[in-house]
Structure formats: C-alpha cells, structure tokens
Amino acid sequence: DHLPALLAAMPKAELHMHIEGSLEPEMIFALAARNGVALPYASVDALRRAYAFTDLQSFLDIYYQGASVLLHEQDFYDTAQAYLARAATDNVVHAEIFFDPQTHTARGVPMGTVIRGLSRACAEAPQKHGLSATLILCFLRHLSEREAFETLETALPFREHFIGVGLDSSEVGHPPEKFARVFARCRELGFRIVAHAGEEGPPDYIWQALDVLKAERIDHGVQAVHDAVLMRRLGAGRVPLTVCPLSNQKLRVFPDLADHNLKALLDAGLCATVNADDPAYFGGYVNDNLRAVAAATGLTARHAYQLAANSFEASFADAAAKARWR
C-alpha cells in the first residue's frame, strides 16, 4: 500500500493551524521554566494526561492556559520556528498560520511582541526550512465585537505582517453576524477573510460566514453536509473548507474517524483540504491527519492528489507561487 508514502511525500499547503496549538507539552514546560510562569501540572506527563477532551470548550480551556507561558518576542519566535521546522518534514511548502492575539494582550503582552516574534520566524522560513509562511490574525468570538475592533486597531501598525483575519474560539452562541461590522472594516482595509464555521455550529453559521462576513474560506465547515443548498453553493463557488480530521475526532465532532465526512465532501466536488488545527493537542501534524483519515475512511490516490491540489488552490499565495506548485 503506497498511499501513506504518497500522502507524506506530496508537497502541500497547510491553511488551518493555530500557532498556540503547536506548543508541545515539553515546550510549555520549558517556556514556563524560562519565564517563571507557574503551571497547575506537576509534569509533562500530567499535562498530557489532561488532554482528554469532550467538546470544543473543554479543549479551549486547556489551550488558553498553555498559551500563558508565551511572554517575550523570543517565545513567539521560538514557537513559530519549531512549527515551521516540523512542517517542513511533512513536505509543507506553504503555511498560513493563525494566531490569537487577544489571549496574549489580555495578559499584558504587547501586540508588537506577539506579531514581531511570529513574523520574524515566518520571514526566515524560506531560507531556513524551504517553505513560505504568512500570518492570519484571529478574533476570539467569545469576546465582544468592540474588543475585536480594539484588537484590529492595535494590530494595524503591524499590518504588513499579516495577510488576513479569521474568527475562532467558542462557536455555538457566537454566530458570525456578531462580527459583521469589524469584518466589513477588515475587508475595506484589504485583508483576506476566513472564519471558523460549522465545526460544532449549524449550517446557518456557514451561511453567515459567507454572506455576512464574506469569508473566502471556511475553517472546518464539516456541518455543511446537513444542508444540500449550502453544499451546492460551496461546490459551485469552489469555497474551500479547511478540514481537521484528528481535531474533529478528539473534540467528538466525529468520535469515530471512520465516520468522518471528508471523503463525502471531496466526492461532492468541494474544495476540501486537510490540516492539523492544533497538532500538539490532537495527536498529530498534517501528515498524521492525512494518514489517519485516509486509513479510517478509505481514501484513494486520486483523493490524495485532489487534497494536495486543493490546498494550493485554497491558499492566499500569489499566482506565480501557485503556478510553481502545479
């Protein structure tokens, strides 16, 4: 069976990865020691044992706690640089990386500290690791639209360091329309637009992400299968879905990976891609996700090729880069 080798070796873009979700337990402990941050876990193993999630919120509580060890520009640089080195071993040739500034600025970390650290690692990635990398600033949807506007304002002095904005955190109860005005402003400013929708939330949230926020990609989007009209819209418009199989399994969106609908999305002609979401928390990087979902759902070499092609089509890289990857 050559499929695992094909999945691993094929060049790919990764479009849905939260940098805070790439902090491995060992790295959390090392940064906590370096920065004098107290952790409520006795050991790396004790922390890892806490990674027993029942839904999105049970994960987010631990994920924001883990991110609390990031204080200095060097911490953000080191985190991004570790991810980029790891991604290169999975033959990722382009990464669009999410970051959650509000989880840092709320602890008193300046916006510039966050963005400069991450951006420096991205800028060095072509030389150091042979891949291109850009940043997407995500607003936390459990916070207010006013706080999102304040975050945008604070980030604008660094606007050349991120290409787009997204929407993440607790989905149910925080529909995309809550952020209509701040996303309208982001569009005026020329940012690319993505949004998490239809991870745990209903198809209506995907409609809102498309029609209200004007999202160019939907992060997750797996609940779209429950709305036939929406499926036709996503297919006809080639609206990419950045799917994260191991995340969906660990957060019990599809408790059994064999029940995951990635193959159905691909076979319906949608531009679905495979991504790691939060690799340190969900048991794998992008190739682990590809291998696991392929084995569990019976993907073919044709699906593998389509996933790689979709990842490049869905990326915000320029036309020249896309032509090189064809």
Residue nearest to ligand ADE (CB): 168
Least distance (Å) between residue 291 CB and ligand ADE? 20
Q: Which is nearer to ligand ADE, 24 or 278 (CB)?
A: 278
Which of 217, 139, 152, 216 has its CA nearest to residue 178?
139
Q: Which of 188, 199, 200, 313 is catalytic?
A: 199
Question: Alpha-carbon distance 131 to 211, whole Å?
Answer: 33
Verify whether residue 96 is a known catalytic residue. no
Q: Which is nearer to Zn ion, 90 or 100 (CB)?
A: 100
Q: Which is nearer to ligand ADE, 276 or 299 (CB)?
A: 276
Question: Alpha-carbon distance 217 to 163, whole Å?
Answer: 14
219 labelled ligand-binding: no
Which of 84, 87, 154 has its CA nearest to residue 115?
154
Q: Which is nearer to Zn ion, 277 or 288 (CB)?
A: 277
Looking at residues 236 to 295 of the shown chain, list those that interact with ligand ADE (rule: CB under 6 A).
Answer: 247, 277-278
The amino acid present at 117, given as its one-letter code, is: G
Cβ neighbors of 269 (< 8 A, separation 6 or more) are: 235
Rounded to an integer, what is the distance from CA 229 to the centroid of its chain? 26
Least distance (Å) between residue 229 CB and ligand ADE? 25
By the rule CB under 5 A, 96 interacts with Zn ion: no
The structure tokens listed for 110 are 């300046």
Q: Which is nearer to ligand ADE, 217 or 304 (CB)?
A: 217
Q: Taking CB under 6 A as the rule, which mask of x and - marks residues 34-63 in contact with ligand ADE? A: ----------------------x------x
List, in sequence order, every beta strand (DSSP E) within the chain. Answer: 12-18, 92-99, 132-140, 164-168, 192-197, 217-220, 241-243, 272-274
The structure tokens listed for 103 are 């989880």
Considering only 94, 192, 196, 260, the residue that binds ligand ADE (CB under 6 A) is: 196
The structure tokens listed for 100 are 């959650």
Least distance (Å) between residue 138 CB and ligand ADE? 7
By the rule CB under 6 A, 18 interacts with ligand ADE: yes
Considering only 68, 277, 281, 303, the residue that binds Zn ion (CB under 5 A) is: 277
> Is 279 within 8 Å of 23 (Cβ atoms)?
no
277 labelled ligand-binding: yes
Three-state secondary structure string covering 98-144: EECHHHHHCCCCCHHHHHHHHHHHHHHHHHHHCCEEEEEEEEECCCC
> Is 262 within 8 Å of 297 (Cβ atoms)?
yes
196 labelled ligand-binding: yes
Residue ranges of the annotated binding site for Zn(2+) are: 16, 18, 196, 277
Catalytic residues: 199
Residue ranges of the annotated binding site for substrate are: 278
Q: Which residues bind ligand ADE (CB under 6 A)?
A: 18, 21, 56, 63, 168-169, 196, 199, 247, 277-278
Residue ranges of the annotated binding site are: 16, 18, 196, 277-278
